[in-house]
Structure 1
Amino acid sequence: METINDIPSYQKMGRKKFFTILRRETNLINLQDIMRASLFLIDDAKYVQGNYRKEYLESYTKAFIMRIQEVKAHHVESDELLDIAEVQDAVRLLQEQEKLAAEGEGFDPAFFKIYKIISLYTTFILVESVHPVGTPFPGGLQVKYDGEKFLCPVKERQKDNPGAVCGFCIAEQDPETM
């Protein structure tokens, strides 16, 4: 069975094959994984400002955990070739993050399974920003869509963060928050 971890060895890949791999891995996520991922988010929220905590939990639950069902129901019609170098770079970054998660650094492994799939799904299948439009950030900032592109209030500050997916997310820095 092909997995996300096999992708760095590919020479080319179409959207349908990529999505088939993502869906297959989504089907391996069970209720226990979802519960552990939810508990991780709740525990992680204790480090978030109190007035922003509720929005944070709602947003991240919707952006990652609830999207698992979306992946299972989604159908890909187009089989256009993906930019394999971009996909491979994204997968390699996620593999590095996964090592840290397995060592107890950063994400819970159950949450990471979901995070990995959804980050790749939104970026390369939906061609949307990893964080959905309206995702709040501290200071009243949020991800926006201006009709042409996704705008993130923290892209420039996070794009080189090895613990973030900003490096491959399609969102651009919101010029209003520079």
Structure 2
Amino acid sequence: MISYLDKIDFSHEISKNNLLKILKKEASNIHIKEIMDASIYLKEDAKFMPSKERDEFIERFTRAFFIRIKDLKEDKETYHGQVNLVKLKEFFKILDKQRKNSKCHEELCFQKIAKIVATYTAFVKKESIHPVGTKFPGGFILRYENGVYYCPVKEKQLNTPGALCRFCVSVQDEMI
């Protein structure tokens, strides 16, 4: 099924409010079963992590999906400005490639929800793509202080082809 996001015309400017409307339509088509299937994918993807970290990772991302989808559906804010279409197109290209490489239904559900949530956070809300509190290897944590998102792995991931870090508003945590 072609999504509303797949129908965006990149030859015309799009406001953050119009992108929000499109994302709301997408979010309204997400069924609880898809979130559950995405959680199953997370469990499989994280199977080699230490159990405590794995359980926190799965719980945090599943909760983040629920919360972000709910926030998106209920968002009544007015967002000023236009979306950077060059960056959005590149962002979608990476996500669409990941989706095409999905190996199972559960991963497709994860990719669908991740695209909606990440687009909302990165291009409309201008918030960190990963939820605050996300733990990275070495025990480092994404944090938010004084209006700034600090990521412990941003610089190391900027040149990773499939990473979305270059679209994220977070900055490298220099305390690491």
The TM-score, its normalising length taken from structure 2, stands at: 0.88
| Correspondence for 2:85 | 84
Which structure 2 residues correspond to residues 1-80 of structure 1 after superposition, within 5 A? 3-7=4-8, 9-80=10-81
Which structure 2 residues correspond to residues 110-125 of structure 1 after superposition, within 5 A? 110-125=109-124
The separation in 2 between residues aligned to 1:2 and 1:47, in whole angstroms, is: 33
Note closer, same or farther for the CA distance 1:153–1:166 as it changes in structure 2 (3 Å cut).
same
The separation in 1 between residues aligned to 2:67 and 2:110, in whole angstroms, is: 12
The number of equivalent residue pairs is 174
Q: How far does residue 2 in structure 1 lie from its aligned partner after superposition?
A: 7.1
Segments of 4+ moved more than 4 angstroms = none
Equivalent position amino acid for 2:172 in 1: Q
The separation in 2 between residues aligned to 1:124 and 1:113, in whole angstroms, is: 16
The answer to whether the 8 A contact 1:59-1:136 is kept is no
State the Cα deviation string for residues 68-89 of structure 1 (Å, max 9, x = none).
1121111231342222222222
The answer to whether the 8 A contact 2:35-2:66 is kept is yes
The separation in 1 between residues aligned to 2:18 and 2:161, in whole angstroms, is: 27
The separation in 2 between residues aligned to 1:33 and 1:135, in whole angstroms, is: 22
Q: How far does residue 32 in structure 1 lie from its aligned partner after superposition?
A: 2.1
Q: Name structure 1 gaps, 5 residues minimum.
A: none
Q: How far does residue 127 in structure 1 lie from its aligned partner after superposition?
A: 0.8
Q: How far does residue 163 in structure 1 lie from its aligned partner after superposition?
A: 2.9
| Correspondence for 1:99 | 100
Equivalent position amino acid for 2:98 in 1: Q
The separation in 1 between residues aligned to 2:32 and 2:52, in whole angstroms, is: 30
Q: How far does residue 141 in structure 1 lie from its aligned partner after superposition?
A: 0.7
The answer to whether the aligner puts 1:158 opposite 2:153 as a matched pair is no
Q: Name structure 2 gaps, 5 residues minimum.
A: none
The separation in 2 between residues aligned to 1:45 and 1:159, in whole angstroms, is: 22
The answer to whether the 8 A contact 1:5-1:95 is kept is no
| More displaced 10-residue stretch of structure 1: 75-84 or 1-10 | 1-10
- The residue matched to 1:167 in structure 2 has which SS? helix
The TM-score, its normalising length taken from structure 1, stands at: 0.87
State the Cα deviation string for residues 31-65 of structure 1 (Å, max 9, x = none).
22122112112222212122312221222112224
